[in-house]
Structure formats: C-alpha cells, structure tokens
C-alpha cells in the first residue's frame, strides 16, 4: 500500500466521441492501478453505439470499424467497477473522465461514486510557477515518455510517470497534505443529493439556496459556480452561519451567466425580488438620496439633498454620492467639511448666522467664508474639489446602449438595465417594454464598465 494515502490509486483515461458527458460516449478506457510498489494496467476499446466523428477519428486514431465488434459499456461495467472499487480515481482534468463514467453508469441505472483527484489541480498546486498544466505541458516540462498520445493507455501511463516523479520530488508530508486537500469531498447537507451537485456548472452564474416551504435562504454569485457552492459546505463545521445554512438547506438552483457582469446584475435583481433571509447587502431600497450642486443663485446654498423620487439619473448632471438616507449623506458631507476646512453653516450642516464666525472657524476648522475671511468662490472651488470623488457619472449617450459580454448584449438606458439579448429582435423587444426604475446597485456595477458601452445604432432601435 502506498504510504502517501490509505487507499490504492487508479489512474484513468478515456477516449470519447466528443466533450459532452451526457450526450457523447466512451470509445476506449484505460485503468492503471498502483499500490505504491506495483502497477497493473488494463484497457479496452468500447463500442459507443454511435458514430465517431471524423475529427475524433483523426485525433485519437480510433476508427468506427475498430469499435464495431468491441463490447458496449454495459458488458464492461462490472470489470470497471471492480478495478476502481476502493481506489482513488486519478485523471487529468478528472471532471471530464469522472463525468463520462458517471453518466455511463447512470444509463444502466447504477450510481457511480468515488474519491477523485485531478492531476491538473495537483500540478497547479505543486508547480505554481508555471502557467500551463495541460498533459502536453507536463510531458514536455518533466520529460515524460509517451507511447501513444490521445490513446487511453498511453495517456494513463503518462499520469503514472508524473505521479512517481512527484513521489521523488516532494517531501511525503507535503505531497500527502496536498492530496488530502485536493481529493477531499465536502460533506453535503443531508437533504442535498450529490448528483445534484455534480450537475452544477463550473463557470459564471448565480446560485439559489432554498429551505423549508421553498423559501429562499441565500443567493450568491460566482465566476466558478460549482466551486463556490461546495465552499459553503466545506467550512460548515467552522462557521455557525454556514452550519445553520446547511441544516436549513433543502434545494439548490442556479442560473448560468455569460460572464461576471450578468452574474452580478442577476444576483442583485434576484435578492431584491426574493429577499432571501441571509442576504442583507443588496436588499431593495428606494429611499436613497444624493447631493445636487446648485449654483444658480449667488450666495444660495450650494448643495441640496434630492431623493430618489425626484432624481433623473443619466439625464441629470451635478449629482454627488448615493446614500441610503439623509443621515448617511450629512455624515459624509460633514467628514469632507472637516478634511477641507469647509464651513458647516454655509453647507447647512449646522445652524448659525452668516457674517459671524462659526464654531468651526473659532477652532480653526473653517477658513472663514461665514465671516468674510474667505470668498464664496474660493469656498465653492474647495467644496467642488472635495466632492469630486463622489461625483456620479452621467449617462454619456442620447439614447440606449449595449454592453457586450460573450454572446450576450446587455441593453442599458440612462443606467437602467433593460435586460440581456442575443440578437436585434430581442433588443427591440427590450426597448419596447420600457425603461425600469433606476437601481443604485445595478448602477454601481454598470458604471465600472462604461468604457465598453456602445451606443445602439438607429437601425437597431427604430421600429
């Protein structure tokens, strides 16, 4: 038995008719078991019960006539189970190989589960100085020999060589800790099936946790959806909040997104619509306000608070800050006044009589605009400079614009998010549905990407 782990290892490689586990099929399988001393290799062609595309024939060398008389997966299933039973399943990009085997067994009405270790992740962890960790990169970097690339047994033999190299190159304790970390599968909440977890995609998206009576508990977003969902459970024994979430959890749903922008916007909108009990930050709020710069009349107050109901974001300039309430707005302005020695009386933060020194002037925190020591113009210039960091970006176009993300186009007008579209017809539909109300969280997401906005051409918006 290998000293590095308490179970023997099984190095697995598959050749398939394509890359989609629930559609494509296996054409060849290789399993090399290793107990720390000896290896035992087994491989077999598999009749996929469907045609092998010409591109795959050229890549692997496995032709349709070669598998015509080979056994179908059902005939090999027991042999495969016996060879993998009690072993740690090791593959390069293990999700691919494990997913294909799991789907093949599922078609037979059987459940296939085992501990999995991915050599891509292992290489990244142990060799972080390198950018590439494909099998070809490993072969070249470590001078591994390969008999038949893109054949199951040849590629599995490469993995065995890589493993033995690791045994020689790293201290046993380091390698053991790394293997334990990467192969650990978090314990799932009692009401969540592992098959449901396996279905979660790896890319951008939003996930939704539901409790009893289908009530939303928590909504989150991630650029690595499955990894993020599992992270909630891997730490549930350490954090009381995660433990509580795991105990209440009954169902998991998710929405795949084109990229991070769509994930952020979708998360914010869903939290406002569903109001899950454990989300606080993005709850709906329509009572926000902003400072408006008013210099129409000489010696009139330069700032006044305007509230959401009176704001026209994107069509209105001279707005500073988005505050959840009047108190937050005044506290922010008060902080700026102290930093820049602005007059709190002139700003309307304190009561006082113009022409007389304010209290801040007496303690040298005001330069004296209140008593004529500083001109109104000088004070206004310094005030505007202090506010510059809070200035809200006004909408740069006369009409709507799009923000492209992969195949999706986000349609936006005056910082209001109309929706996502993939063609001109869908864009037209979104425009006809009208502009939703301004949302401060969506604004904060979109404004970070304003340099990638493209105004809609007239032909795209005309009926």
The pLDDT of residue 43 is above 70: yes
Q: Are residues 386 and 457 in the same domain?
A: no
Question: Are residues 323 and 201 part of one domain?
Answer: no
- Tens of pLDDT, residue by residue over 253-306, are 999 999 999 999 999 999 989 999 888 776 666 678 899 887 655 555 678 888
Q: Is the domain of 37 the same as that of 128?
A: yes
- The 10s digit of each residue's pLDDT in 160-219 is 999 999 999 999 888 888 887 787 666 678 788 777 888 898 889 999 999 988 889 999
State the pairing for strand pair 303-307/289-293.
Answer: antiparallel
Whether residues 173 and 266 share a domain: the answer is no
* 322 phi, psi to nearest 5 deg: -120, 115
Mark whether 205 and 315 lie in a shared domain.
no
Residue 354 forms part of a structural domain: yes
Give the torsion through C-alpha atoms of 372, 376, 378, 384, to 10 deg.
140
The answer to the question of residue 209 being in a domain is yes
| Structure tokens belonging to residue 39 | 């290896």
Share of the chain above pLDDT 90, in %: 58
Residue 395 included in any domain: no
User: Do 178 and 199 sit in the same domain of this protein?
Assistant: no
Same structural domain, 221 and 89: no
Is 150 marked active-site? yes
- Does some domain include residue 434? yes
> pLDDT band at 96, cuts 50/70/90?
confident
Residue 371 has what DSSP assignment? G
Query: pLDDT value at position 301?
Result: 62
Q: Is 381 a residue whose pLDDT tops 80?
A: yes
Domain limit, last residue, from 244, 274, 304? 274
Does 270 lie in the same domain as 169?
no
In a domain, 262, yes or no: yes
In a domain, 436, yes or no: yes
Confidence of residue 447 (pLDDT cuts 50, 70, 90): very high
Q: Is the pLDDT of residue 308 over 90?
A: no
pLDDT category of residue 354 using cuts at 50, 70 and 90: confident
Instruction: Examine the fold and report which residue of 274, 308, 338 is the final residue of a domain before the chain moves on.
Output: 274
DSSP class of residue 21 equals: T
Strands 88-91 and 9-16 come out as parallel
Range with lowest mean pLDDT among 176-185, 243-252, 308-317, 322-331: 308-317
CA pair distance 101, 340, nearest whole angstrom: 67
Boundaries of domain holding 312: 289-390
Please give the average per-residue pLDDT across 434-458, as a whole number: 86
CB 418 within 8 A of CB 371: no
Write the DSSP symbol of residue 72: B
Q: How many residues does the chain have?
A: 463
Give yes or no: residues 27 and 95 share one domain. yes
User: End-to-end CA distance of the chain, in Å?
Assistant: 73
Closest among 298, 379, 389, 391 to 341, alpha carbons compared: 379
The answer to the question of residue 364 being in a domain is yes
Q: Is residue 158 part of a domain?
A: yes
363 and 293 share one domain: yes
What is the pLDDT, as a whole number, of residue 227?
86
Residues 219 and 317 in one domain: no
Task: Work out how many domains the chain is built from and give that number.
Answer: 4
Please identify which of the residues 150, 191, 224, 449 carries the catalytic annotation.
150
pLDDT band with cut points at 50, 70 and 90 for residue 460: very low
End of a domain among 358, 390, 422?
390
Residues 207 and 171 both lie in one domain:
no
We report the CATH number of the domain holding residue 71 as 3.30.420.10
Percentage above 70 pLDDT, the chain: 91
């Amino acid at each position: 038995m290998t000293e590095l782990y308490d179970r023997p290892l099984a190095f697995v490689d598959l050749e398939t008719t394509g890359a989609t586990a629930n559609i494509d099929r296996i054409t060849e399988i290789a399993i090399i078991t290793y107990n720390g001393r000896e290896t035992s290799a087994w491989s077999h062609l598999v009749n996929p019960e469907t045609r092998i595309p010409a591109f795959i024939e050229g890549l692997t060398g496995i032709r349709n006539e070669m598998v015509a008389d080979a056994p179908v997966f059902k005939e090999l299933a027991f042999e495969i189970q016996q060879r993998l039973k009690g072993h740690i399943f090791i593959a390069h990009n293990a999700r691919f190989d494990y997913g294909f085997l799991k789907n093949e067994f599922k078609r037979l009405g059987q459940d296939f589960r085992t501990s999995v270790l991915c050599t891509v992740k292992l290489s990244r962890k142990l060799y972080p100085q390198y950018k590439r960790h494909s099998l070809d990169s490993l072969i070249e970097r470590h001078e591994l020999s390969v008999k038949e690339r893109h054949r199951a047994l040849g590629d599995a033999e490469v993995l065995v060589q890589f493993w033995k190299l690791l045994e020689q190159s790293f201290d046993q304790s380091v390698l053991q800790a790394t293997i334990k970390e990467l192969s650990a599968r978090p314990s799932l909440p009692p009401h969540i099936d592992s098959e449901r977890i396996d279905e979660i995609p790896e890319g951008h998206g939003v996930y939704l946790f539901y409790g009893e009576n289908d009530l939303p508990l928590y909504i989150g977003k991630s650029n690595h959806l499955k990894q993020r969902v599992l992270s909630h459970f891997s730490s549930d024994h350490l954090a009381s909040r995660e433990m509580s979430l795991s105990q209440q959890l009954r169902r998991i749903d998710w929405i795949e997104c084109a990229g991070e922008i769509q994930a952020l916007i979708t998360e914010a909108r869903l939290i406002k619509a569903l109001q899950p009990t454990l989300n606080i930050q993005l709850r709906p709020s329509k009572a926000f306000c902003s400072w408006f710069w008013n210099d129409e009349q000489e010696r009139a107050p330069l700032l006044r608070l305007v509230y959401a109901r009176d704001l026209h974001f994107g069509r209105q300039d001279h707005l500073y800050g988005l505050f959840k309430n009047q108190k937050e707005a005044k506290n922010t302005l008060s902080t700026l006044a102290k930093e820049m020695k602005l007059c709190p009386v002139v700003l309307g933060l304190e009561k006082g009589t113009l022409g007389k020194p304010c209290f801040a002037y007496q303690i040298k925190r005001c330069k004296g605009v209140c008593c004529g020591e500083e001109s109104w113009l000088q004070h206004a210039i310094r005030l505007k400079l202090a506010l510059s960091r809070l200035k809200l970006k006004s909408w740069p176009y006369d009409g709507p614009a799009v923000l492209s993300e992969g195949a999706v186009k986000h349609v936006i007008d005056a910082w209001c998010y109309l929706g996502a579209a993939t063609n001109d017809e869908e864009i037209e539909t979104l425009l006809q549905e009208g502009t939703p109300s301004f949302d401060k969280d969506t604004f904060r997401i979109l404004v970070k990407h304003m340099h990638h906005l493209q105004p809609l051409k007239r032909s795209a918006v005309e009926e």
